[in-house]
A and B are shown apart, each in its own frame.
Chain A
Amino acid sequence: MQPETLALVILFSPLAAAVVNGALLRRRGATAASLSVLAAGVSLVAGLFLILTADPFAVSANWLTLGSFSLDLGLLYNPLSALMLFVVVLVGFIIHVFSLGYMNDDPDRGRFFAGMSFFMFSMIGVVLADNLILLFIFWELVGLSSYLLISFYFDRPSAVAAGNKAFIVNRVGDFGFLLGIIWAYWAYGTVNIEALSSLIAADGAILKTGIGLLVFCGAVGKSGQIPLHVWLPDAMEGPTPVSALIHAATMVAAGIYLLCRIGAIMTGDALNVIIWIGAATAIYAGFCALPQKDIKKILAYSTISQLGYMVAAFGLGSKLALLGGDAHATHGAVNGGVAAAMFHLTTHAFFKALLFLGAGSIIHACHHEQNIFNMGGLARKMPVTFVTFSLGFLALIGFPALAGFWSKDAILALAYENGGAVFWVLAFGALLTAAYMTRLWVVAFFGQPKTGNAEQAKENGLVMTLPLIVLAVGAAIGGARSLYPEAFGPILDAVPHPEQGAGLIITVSILAMAIGALGAFFFYKPGAHQDNLQRSMPGLFRFLAARLWFDSFYDWYVAKVQQRFAQFLSFMEQVFISGLMVRGVAGLTGLVGLGARALHTGNIHGYVFWFFFGLVALWLLSVGL
């Protein structure tokens, strides 16, 4: 089969499932579930086949032409898209299988699986799109799927509010992204990704910082960087498989993927901004995770933090490439930053999806208990979940030899080579990561069960534990280059390995992890009922829990500034546009009509009078007055 056709099969099979589920199978949850899993399976098999056999290709077909502007529908398949596609279809399929078990007793699962399949379609579209406008269309569709799935439990006002928040905050980022696309089109005459790369490779001087930063806005919104990160923790209102797939492994990674895809348009200044936003997000989210009690919120902040790492990695590597280091960029190849970011994205997808599914397994077993201080003792009660979750936890904190260790080290190597404070910032972030994850692990799994729900928890069936095992294997061995297909070669080979200062980097990373983990291990009581930090340092706890007042600031801003401005604009519109201009013109016409009507009295004498009047007027006109 032609690679193009294969790519189209991968793209459209989830869409077919989504349409059938949404239109016909809302009541028949079991059929809908099977159909979605089947579609995900088809995408997986076709995807693996494509990755293992096909060479990079690009096809495109013209869709609309308006004057000199033409919008094409096209696919661009290169090693970058191959790697992302691999992550999306594999993790997507595993999570679909998990959802079979997790959503088993939910009467609305037809709608759920319709949403999941629609998401798969949109995400694969983002991965394969060959021009920025098509990518933007799929980007928005991904945002829509996210909204539909976050507000899945739509009878809960908090879920609905979270869905709205996600969509609106994303929209803010997308606005910047769209402006960037328009500017790029205006400046370069094309939005096709390959065409842009070749234009820039030919003449690097045509880059503009503004375009890069605006496109980065899209990534800031989608990947939850500061200041547009506020939607991700709230997005945990959705069912756990949604959190795993969309808000951990794939959708939020779309921002990183965008940066890697179109990275050539970034200038040095834009990259500086990117690096610092990434680093700031990494440690801010780490601080936010520390006081959280809800297991999903901890993992959400962890995701934000890791995305910060990926963004920083992209920025650091691209900056090194831009400054001309030969070790990092050869003509036409992928630079070290892109490689490190994508590698971390891959390993992160495995272990974060694992952690979320593990959390889902726990939540399902404890009858939807999400507060870690109400759990405890789960290591004995749910051994498979415990072992797999622990593997994911160790991978996340960067335990040597597991997947996360390699990818995190690559990022630290880039930071070290760049020089400056970024290295220490990211290392501190690793410390925080170890701290909050160890806290979660210790409180949830050890000690004694704190509530009845935790008491009666037992391991779930194979349909939920098998995905955990598969992902755990990925999290453990996912750092090994040799296990990946040759198709990813150009990217994985470019992943930076620390050269000078290798010893320092490894020492710092292991030390940061050890200090964080051991500190949290001894500070937090196993299976505690109350947060030790809250008990002993309530002031610090409250400060951390305030999360730098981003949400309060946005609430204030929307209520006081934006609403007032909107009301002012509404007033202006009512008075001037609707009032004066629209109704005024209508009113004027009405007045003229009234005047004309007044003449129709049926009184002959009146008519004669007006006749005479008209005569006199015409005479005056002719005389020249």
Chain B
Amino acid sequence: MVVGLEHHLAVSGLLFAIGFFGVLLRRNTLVIYMGLELMLNASTLALVAFSRFNGTMDGNVFVFFIITVAAAEVAVGLAIIVALFRKRQTVQVDQLNALRN
């Protein structure tokens, strides 16, 4: 079968959904972070697919931006998580809650 745009987009959507539900449902902060990365990569995939099937370079160029932003975000975010771990000795989000409920 010919792999068309719709297949790429389906995979991208599936990845995005998995990443989204990972953010929503997992308790480990690092796993949530992985979910975020997964969502970013899903959007990257969608952009590349569009770029390929439209014959333009716009999507590909935009992917570079996304990767850069993702890298910066990971650096900062992981730094925060490490600092949080040092303070709280845990990375489980339900144990990180300091608000009285």
Q: Say yes or no: A609-B24 contact (C-beta < 8 A), given A603-B94, A604-B32, A604-B93.
A: yes
Instruction: Report the minimal beta-carbon distance from A126 to chain B, rounded to whole angstroms.
Output: 69
Contact with A along B15-31 (1 / 0, CB 8 A): 00000100111000000
| B68 interfacial by beta-carbon distance below 8 Å | no
* Chain A minimum-CB-distance residue to B99: A602
Pull 20 A–B residue pairs with CB atoms less than 8 Å apart, ordered by A.
A600-B99, A601-B97, A601-B99, A601-B101, A602-B96, A602-B99, A602-B101, A603-B93, A603-B94, A603-B97, A604-B32, A604-B93, A604-B96, A605-B24, A605-B25, A608-B23, A608-B24, A609-B24, A612-B20, A612-B24
* A612–B97 alpha-carbon span in the complex (Å): 20
| B75 interfacial by beta-carbon distance below 8 Å | no
Within 8 A of B (CB), among A46-88: none
| B98 interfacial by beta-carbon distance below 8 Å | yes
Give the chain B neighbours of A603 by CB distance below 8 A. Answer: 93-94, 97
- Seen from chain B, the residues whose Cβ lies within 8 Å of a Cβ on chain A are 20, 23-25, 32, 93-94, 96-99, 101
Give the chain B neighbours of A609 by CB distance below 8 A. Answer: 24
Q: Is the CB of A602 within 8 A of B25?
A: no
* A609–B93 alpha-carbon span in the complex (Å): 14
Instruction: Report the minimal beta-carbon distance from A593 to chain B, rounded to whole angstroms.
Output: 16
* Chain A minimum-CB-distance residue to B97: A602
Give the chain A neighbours of B96 by CB distance below 8 A. Answer: 602, 604
Q: Is the CB of B93 within 8 A of A605?
A: yes
* A605–B21 alpha-carbon span in the complex (Å): 10
Q: Which of A602, A604, A605 contacts B98, CB < 8 Å?
A: A602
Give the chain A neighbours of B98 by CB distance below 8 A. Answer: 602
* A600–B98 alpha-carbon span in the complex (Å): 11
A602-B97, A609-B24 known; 5 new pairs, CB 8 Å cut-off, are A600-B99, A602-B101, A604-B96, A612-B20, A612-B24
* A600–B100 alpha-carbon span in the complex (Å): 10
6 closest pairs, A vs B, by CB?
Answer: A602-B99, A602-B97, A604-B93, A608-B24, A608-B23, A605-B24
Contact with B along A592-612 (1 / 0, CB 8 A): 000000001111110011001
Give the chain B neighbours of A608 by CB distance below 8 A. Answer: 23-24
* A604–B95 alpha-carbon span in the complex (Å): 11
* A602–B24 alpha-carbon span in the complex (Å): 14
Instruction: Report the minimal beta-carbon distance from A610 to chain B, rounded to whole angstroms.
Output: 11
Instruction: Report the minimal beta-carbon distance from A259 to chain B, rounded to whole angstroms.
Output: 75
Give the chain B neighbours of A601 by CB distance below 8 A. Answer: 97, 99, 101
* A604–B84 alpha-carbon span in the complex (Å): 14
Give the chain A neighbours of B101 by CB distance below 8 A. Answer: 601-602
* A128–B66 alpha-carbon span in the complex (Å): 91
Give the chain B neighbours of A602 by CB distance below 8 A. Answer: 96-99, 101
* A608–B22 alpha-carbon span in the complex (Å): 11
* A612–B98 alpha-carbon span in the complex (Å): 23
Instruction: Report the minimal beta-carbon distance from A595 to chain B, rounded to whole angstroms.
Output: 16
* A274–B99 alpha-carbon span in the complex (Å): 79
* A604–B20 alpha-carbon span in the complex (Å): 13
* A605–B32 alpha-carbon span in the complex (Å): 10
* A97–B101 alpha-carbon span in the complex (Å): 80
* Chain B minimum-CB-distance residue to A600: B99
Give the chain A neighbours of B20 by CB distance below 8 A. Answer: 612
* A603–B32 alpha-carbon span in the complex (Å): 13
Instruction: Report the minimal beta-carbon distance from A16 to chain B, rounded to whole angstroms.
Output: 67
* A602–B97 alpha-carbon span in the complex (Å): 5
* Chain B minimum-CB-distance residue to A603: B97
* A601–B25 alpha-carbon span in the complex (Å): 16
* A441–B24 alpha-carbon span in the complex (Å): 106
Give the chain B neighbours of A600 by CB distance below 8 A. Answer: 99
* A604–B22 alpha-carbon span in the complex (Å): 12
Instruction: Report the minimal beta-carbon distance from B30 to chain A, rounded to whole angstroms.
Output: 13
Instruction: Report the minimal beta-carbon distance from B36 to chain A, rounded to whole angstroms.
Output: 10
Give the chain A neighbours of B94 by CB distance below 8 A. Answer: 603
Give the chain A neighbours of B93 by CB distance below 8 A. Answer: 603-605
* A619–B101 alpha-carbon span in the complex (Å): 32
* A603–B97 alpha-carbon span in the complex (Å): 7
* A609–B21 alpha-carbon span in the complex (Å): 10
* A148–B96 alpha-carbon span in the complex (Å): 71
Give the chain B neighbours of A605 by CB distance below 8 A. Answer: 24-25, 93
* A608–B26 alpha-carbon span in the complex (Å): 12
Give the chain B neighbours of A604 by CB distance below 8 A. Answer: 32, 93, 96
Contact with B along A257-282 (1 / 0, CB 8 A): 00000000000000000000000000
Instruction: Report the minimal beta-carbon distance from B86 to chain A, rounded to whole angstroms.
Output: 19
* A603–B20 alpha-carbon span in the complex (Å): 16
